[in-house]
Structure 1
């Protein structure tokens, strides 16, 4: 459903719902209940956990003055409807990854993930210290929203395939689930790209509706059960080296909060960033070992495929440059990426290579 038709269909109901939500009962004894919708199915490892962490921490930190009720994908609105629902005032906030909503504005890619783009640390550098936050506010305010970085999975895997990928030509006609600009890259290589919510991926893969999928990484993928369907797993991916998840509020709702409560929401989102990143990193290695022990074949794309990914990614990322705000975000993002990457390569990159050599890792 596109944004305009959604708003036409829901404005009256949304206004009534918003009015009801802001009526006296919601403010009884200075307390409010806020509804949090998500792009995640209930129980999806790591991502749903992060949304629940945000809800629980805001509720606890405000001593219940703000009680956040989480509604997983499909419980109030669908996974791909949360952006419009919060923008229209049908829900107060959502947790999700915003490359699902590039139809709203292509610049949302910079606040979710760009192929061959930023890692978690590089994104934090840009957002908090090199102009990203101001651009985020400028973009999301167009839709009456206020977004906060509130989760990261770390580098995501290349995905699960029904057959091995030995050349770029192997993507021709391949039915593959990958959202965002990463999916657009595969489209340029001839794949038939599917954009499915996480809760629908297992069924699509097991039924043969898709030939492969990316999801997150070893831990979340194992929990999803993809190893039950195929044993071909590419551990390195180009598409999401550090995908940013957002906690996004209706801007009017956020501005109606007290300064203290605004700060609590802001700081909880920041805490969720490191909490979620460490959650995935703490679980991925052991999960990968279990997958391998269970017969999963760990693969790496050949250089010819990586080169094809890179060439197509350059085209995809530069195509929306005719949009003024997109171009503005692009210039800022790329300048920060180049600066951070150069230093990280000379510092952490050198250290990691030498540590792993010396310690035999």
Structure 2
């Protein structure tokens, strides 16, 4: 384990495992071989790289006694079956967004992101210091799951469009690849949400079976080459202002782990979370430059689209909350936290960022 990794464990409050000597861990510690099913293709090097980093850190932190094998989608379960597979014990672990479990309970979606929710920094604060971990822990436990934060994409882009959206009326009848809460919000504009994998987006746009598609952000979007068939690149992705990813663990398997293994695993998840977000922040700028050079036309969503989308989002939340006590309880909590967080960001973060952005524009 490198010095940086040991510091990460200590910073996460999990240094006890990181400072155990190899012989101390080895005394009576079991040899474990777990499988980790990822929701992301191996070609998505940042997202699939997270489980690979996790496996390496856990092996190093346990003197090789705890081995984790990262598996891509379909090895053995597709992304939509990932959380069920972990809950049932078909695989010990998974990595992906909580929104994959929305069919179990709509509250799962709030653990990933919600339209007009928190940004990445706010989501991290809410989870680690604002009570979200306890709120979601109760929900996940009902389904035999333990979840540890393990990454965030940051604010995503609004997607690729064959025609520019100039008013809210331009969304009427649009066939768009989007799902989850974002899809429900856009459906209120008359958008027809489509569920497609990343590999299906390009041919669907090229063949005009889609009018638009959202994916992730510049670094991952660049690989799809969508600017060639849908050159209008709208922003921001208001439905995912800070999409958090989680490491999913079967609850019984988690309980059976030695405490030292739990600490190493939790520390490794924290390190993976920091690395995923850092890599996106570091790689998106140059990817965006390359996309624009290749023909992408950056366009902000019009103000009337943003304002109407916020209203539609609040309507969607009210509808879901009326049917789901868990969703209602957690939604009320995140609204309160969001209000306080943006009060603080408005004073310091926004003021500083706004000055620096203007200074950059002046050269």
| TM-score over 0.5 for the pair | yes
Q: What are the ranges of 5 or more consecutive residues in structure 1 without an aligned counterpart?
A: 1-27
2:100 alignment counterpart: 100
1:274 alignment counterpart: 274
Equivalent residues in 2 for 1:295-310, closer than 5 Å = 295-310=295-310
Q: Which runs of 4+ in 1 moved over 6 A?
A: none
2 CA distance for matches of 1:201 and 1:52? 26
Larger mean Cα displacement after TM superposition, 54-63 or 211-220? 54-63
Equivalent residues in 2 for 1:74-93, closer than 5 Å = 74-93=74-93
Aligned residues: 334
2 CA distance for matches of 1:182 and 1:226? 20
**Over aligned residues, Cα RMSD in angstroms?**
1.7
Q: What are the ranges of 5 or more consecutive residues in structure 2 without an aligned counterpart?
A: 1-27
1:339 alignment counterpart: 340
1:139 alignment counterpart: 139
1 CA distance for matches of 2:175 and 2:56? 38
How much has 1:45 moved relative to structure 2?
Answer: 4.0
| SS of residue matched to 1:238 | coil
2 CA distance for matches of 1:159 and 1:348? 26
1 CA distance for matches of 2:197 and 2:292? 26
Larger mean Cα displacement after TM superposition, 321-330 or 243-252? 321-330
Describe the shift of the 1:196–1:57 C-alpha distance in structure 2 as closer, same or farther (beyond 3 A). Answer: farther
Describe the shift of the 1:89–1:203 C-alpha distance in structure 2 as closer, same or farther (beyond 3 A). Answer: farther
| SS of residue matched to 1:73 | coil
1 CA distance for matches of 2:153 and 2:48? 12
Larger mean Cα displacement after TM superposition, 174-183 or 38-47? 38-47
How much has 1:68 moved relative to structure 2?
Answer: 0.8
* Matched-pair contact (CA < 8 Å) for 2:144–2:250: yes
How much has 1:62 moved relative to structure 2?
Answer: 2.1
1:325 alignment counterpart: 326
Describe the shift of the 1:339–1:355 C-alpha distance in structure 2 as closer, same or farther (beyond 3 A). Answer: same
User: In the alignment, is residue 172 of structure 1 matched against residue 184 of structure 2?
Assistant: no
1 CA distance for matches of 2:69 and 2:63? 14
1 CA distance for matches of 2:60 and 2:177? 37
Larger mean Cα displacement after TM superposition, 319-328 or 119-128? 319-328
User: In the alignment, is residue 292 of structure 1 matched against residue 286 of structure 2?
Assistant: no
How much has 1:355 moved relative to structure 2?
Answer: 2.6
1:356 alignment counterpart: 357
Describe the shift of the 1:233–1:349 C-alpha distance in structure 2 as closer, same or farther (beyond 3 A). Answer: same
| SS of residue matched to 1:30 | coil
2 CA distance for matches of 1:295 and 1:343? 38
How much has 1:29 moved relative to structure 2?
Answer: 8.4
2 CA distance for matches of 1:192 and 1:327? 26
User: In the alignment, is residue 220 of structure 1 matched against residue 220 of structure 2?
Assistant: yes
Describe the shift of the 1:49–1:209 C-alpha distance in structure 2 as closer, same or farther (beyond 3 A). Answer: farther
TM-score by length of 1: 0.88
2:241 alignment counterpart: 241
Describe the shift of the 1:29–1:346 C-alpha distance in structure 2 as closer, same or farther (beyond 3 A). Answer: closer
2:251 alignment counterpart: 251
